[in-house]
Structure 1
Amino acid sequence: IKCPERSARAQKQISDLNYISFSNIIRDQSCSVSLSLCVALSVRLGRRSVFVALLAVAVGVYLLPSPIDPKPHVLKGPPPALEGPLAVNTRLQKGQRLFTGKLHGPESFTADENGNVYTGTVDGKLWRIGLDDSLTLVTQMGQNLPECGFSTDYEPVCGRPHGVRVDRHGQLIVADSYFGLHSVDPTTGEKTLLVANSQGADDVPFAFLNGLEISSQTGIIYFTDSSSRWGRRHVKLEVIEMNSLGRLLSYDPQTESVTVLLDSLYMPNGIVLSPDEHFLLLAETSIGRILRYWLKGPKAGTKEILMDNMIGYPDNIRLSDHGTFLVGVTTPRFRKLTPPFLDMIAPYPAVKRFLAKVIPLSLYNLLLPRYALVLELGLDGELVGTLHDPEGRLTWAISDVFQHRGRTYLGSTDLPFLPVLEGWDS
């Protein structure tokens, strides 16, 4: 900077000051640029670290073996609309809960000639409900441990009774998921093993005994093995996998022989004989349909689809007091903004394998709506009515619908109470 009117000394001072100011500016800008570079570099490195970590996790999950081996499956179509006989109502809200905290998961029911009702629970126990609603322990199917009922890890030790019926001799016939088919004295609780899971049928052991029915004409016991791979405590994997690994079988008490009636079934669950015992109905839970298997007549030994693409996943099927079939729906299958979860993943085995790796079994319950639904079918399989509890006020996830002496008992696999309806609101 040159100023002619100023002295050389003054000019030098000004030049020195300008140099110092310019140097300070350069230094400050350098620091600012350095800081920006440092921040940008840190962000970039942080993002890269996160990406690398996520990539490592993804690769690790990919390399982990999946517990399931699903096949692609496409359901028949979207679930039916909630209209006509399926229209929403509140008929299931007109009941009460019994034995809260005492009965945990009363899944299926039967009654003796004296009017007592029997049921099995998740802790491996078999109970008698008296006419005065008294509760009496009949027997423990396995070991009676403090942990029974609190964790599914102990089910193979404690037992889990599913289907239960009374035979012609007044004995209880019980299908235990882990211990096989038993006869139980309802008075003493003494158990007699009929067929062990390890014995199975046709060189295939049982893994998940479930539904049960007894012919009043022949005494033959019909029962289902829901899967040859998964036990009761892994039922969610069985549903997601959607493979046809189940069977319908019969046991003849006279010959003590087991016969495979149907195989390659999709999680066969509840079964019921028609009033004339010409056929039985069978629920295939994981695929949402009901089969009819003919026992007599020209179609004997054959099966046909009675109901498909159902509004929910059927569990047990029972005869009502007024000559219809009642179907407990364990999980509804409703059309909302998006298709039902199981519908969406059904065609994609890779998605199923991934979900089975990363999602704990207990978290799948969060995907299930708290909704109760019962279907009423005519003898030819036509839908004649439904009962709903849209908010789950009384119950949800119904496993059985058993009518006895004017009362309707609603089963469940895990709920800590027994819902009942007094009368039948039709």
Structure 2
Amino acid sequence: MSGEDGYSKLFLFLLVGIGLAIGSALTVVYVKKSPIEAVDISGIHDIRQFKWAQVENKDLQLGEIIAPDLLGPESIAVDSDDNLYTGLEDGRVVKIENPGKENENITDLTKSFDYAKGSKRSMKRPLGIRLHGSKLYFVDAYQGVIMIDLKSKSFDVILRYDDVTPQLVFPDDLTVTSDGKTIYFTDMSLKWAYEEIALFTLEGECSGRLFKVDVETKRAELVRNGLCHPNGIEIDRDDSKVLVAEHNRRRIAIIDTTSGKVVRHVLLPGGPDNIRRRKNGGYWVSIVYLPEPGHFTTWNPVHRNMIAGALGGQGVIGLFNLNQGIAVKLDEKFEPVSIHYDLEGKLSKAITEISELSDGRLAVASFVVQGIPLVDPLSSD
């Protein structure tokens, strides 16, 4: 070996050594700076494990956008006349009459009152919303569980965030029993609030809770804790089980309402958001994005801590592909039977909920988009 070759190899070794030293130093810095303490997520599944999801379709691309000025309609309730009710990023709860028609009209249901008045938290973000008779119930990510009486145009705080101990940090969705006497709702984390959702997803911790509250007495009871990112919730037709979306583990927990025990899990190819019953039986489950195999949210804790330390919450949220629309249909036994896509995000994207209108159209909710896509009836229905 010539002297020149020896110097070249020595120089290369030095460069590699310097690179490794710099990389190690940056790893230490970003891990120490990290706002999260990522936990191990082992054995996570992806779309390759689900034969029923190995299809190509554009079912969620056909339709129209209505109410294009409304930002972030995260959840949608539908009444018997197909009027829509939804909560928005700016804290309003609105009613959309005659959606998609020439006489479409939008009314601010919260214009005459401030449901955060008297609260130590000033911010408002209505999320999961339900209609039971003339009562409109919704969960606010900061305030708790609120009710609007559509007849009297008055409101009532069913449960304030600090009415339980530990207090609610991120209440997200609710469902109501058939008799209207009990509300079940989720609190996603004991640590992370609404504006920190990207960091919460990256960390992967499981401190979420399921509560029930008596509508008349307003007495709340913890049903189950230790849930993994529990956002969406639905109750079955005989009020015996609740379906709770565990986003971080890409599954739905089926929980017995009497014992509070998880009786089974339903695995999905992506993290579920809201769950809603279908008119003809079964359930709609929305999936905000479809993670590819080896998605960064499943990397080992050190790497996820580095990402959070280097990018922060706003940087992390930019890593998620929110330009996709995915919805899964379950049957009455909670088994997945079909999946429906708009992977190009032409009409539906970052879907947080699917609700049905009487004519078969689907009202698509999202926490990031403007307007509400009304998807044409699916040929499979």
TM-score band by shorter chain is 0.7 to 0.9
1:94 — aligned with what?
Answer: 62
1:67 aligns with 2:32: no
Deviations 1:74-95 (A, max 9, x none): 1344433575454120111111
Instruction: Identify which of 157, 174, 190 aligns with 1:193.
Output: 157
2:262 — aligned with what?
Answer: 303
Give the residue type in structure 2 aligned to 1:389: D
In 1, Cα distance between the equivalents of 2:285 and 2:295?
Answer: 20
Instruction: Identify which of 40, 60, 76 aligns with 1:109.
Output: 76
CA RMSD of aligned residues (A): 2.7
1:364 aligns with 2:342: no
1:291 — aligned with what?
Answer: 253
In 1, Cα distance between the equivalents of 2:335 and 2:19?
Answer: 57
What is the deviation of 1:410?
A: 0.5
Q: How many residues align?
A: 354
1:162 — aligned with what?
Answer: 127
Runs of 5+ unmatched residues, structure 1: 1-48, 145-155
Q: Secondary structure at the match of 1:353?
A: helix
Are the equivalent residues in 1 in contact too, given 2:177–2:239 (CA < 8 A)? yes
1:420 — aligned with what?
Answer: 374
Change (3 A) 1:191 1:254: closer
1:331 aligns with 2:289: yes
Give the residue type in structure 2 aligned to 1:106: P
What is the deviation of 1:142?
A: 6.1
Alignment of 1:224-373 (within 5 A): 224-295=186-257, 300-308=259-267, 310-335=268-293, 339-343=294-298, 345=299, 348-369=300-321, 370-373=323-326
Deviations 1:47-77 (A, max 9, x none): xx9999998866654543x322222121344
2:327 — aligned with what?
Answer: 374
In 1, Cα distance between the equivalents of 2:21 and 2:182?
Answer: 62
Change (3 A) 1:56 1:240: closer
Are the equivalent residues in 1 in contact too, given 2:186–2:209 (CA < 8 A)? yes
Q: With CA pairs under 8 Å and 6+ residues apart, which has the higher RCO, 1 or 2?
A: 2
In 2, Cα distance between the equivalents of 1:367 and 1:256?
Answer: 40
Q: Secondary structure at the match of 2:48?
A: coil
User: What percentage of residue pairs aligned between the two structures are identical?
Assistant: 25
What is the deviation of 1:188?
A: 6.0
In 2, Cα distance between the equivalents of 1:53 and 1:279?
Answer: 53
What is the deviation of 1:409?
A: 0.5
Deviations 1:100-148 (A, max 9, x none): 2x1111011113345422100111110101024311111166679xxxx
Give the residue type in structure 2 aligned to 1:190: S
Change (3 A) 1:142 1:362: farther
In 1, Cα distance between the equivalents of 2:231 and 2:138?
Answer: 14
Question: What TM-score does the superposition give when structure 1 sets the normalisation length?
Answer: 0.76
Q: Secondary structure at the match of 2:248?
A: coil
In 2, Cα distance between the equivalents of 1:234 and 1:94?
Answer: 33
Deviates more, 1:75-84 or 1:171-180: 75-84
Alignment of 1:199-218 (within 5 A): 199-200=163-164, 203-217=165-179
Question: What TM-score does the superposition give when structure 2 sets the normalisation length?
Answer: 0.85
1:137 — aligned with what?
Answer: 108
Deviations 1:224-248 (A, max 9, x none): 0001111111011111111111001
1:386 aligns with 2:344: no
More strand as a share of residues: 2
When Rg is computed on C-alpha atoms for both structures, the one with the higher figure is: 1
Give the residue type in structure 2 aligned to 1:315: D
What is the deviation of 1:161?
A: 0.4
What is the deviation of 1:98?
A: 1.2
2:141 — aligned with what?
Answer: 177
In 1, Cα distance between the equivalents of 2:295 and 2:27?
Answer: 26
In 1, Cα distance between the equivalents of 2:185 and 2:251?
Answer: 18
Q: Secondary structure at the match of 1:359?
A: helix
Q: Secondary structure at the match of 1:356?
A: helix
1:124 aligns with 2:91: yes
What is the deviation of 1:259?
A: 0.6
Are the equivalent residues in 2 in contact too, given 1:272–1:280 (CA < 8 A)? yes
1:79 — aligned with what?
Answer: 47
Give the residue type in structure 2 aligned to 1:90: K
In 2, Cα distance between the equivalents of 1:399 and 1:127?
Answer: 18
Deviations 1:130-189 (A, max 9, x none): 024311111166679xxxxxxxxxxx6341001111234x12111100011111233565
2:15 — aligned with what?
Answer: none
Alignment of 1:8-87 (within 5 A): 60-64=29-33, 66-80=34-48, 83-87=51-55
Change (3 A) 1:114 1:383: closer
Are the equivalent residues in 2 in contact too, given 1:311–1:334 (CA < 8 A)? no
Are the equivalent residues in 1 in contact too, given 2:30–2:305 (CA < 8 A)? no
What is the deviation of 1:367?
A: 2.5
Runs of 5+ unmatched residues, structure 2: 1-17
Instruction: Identify which of 202, 205, 219 aligns with 2:181.
Output: 219
In 2, Cα distance between the equivalents of 1:56 and 1:387?
Answer: 45
In 2, Cα distance between the equivalents of 1:78 and 1:408?
Answer: 26
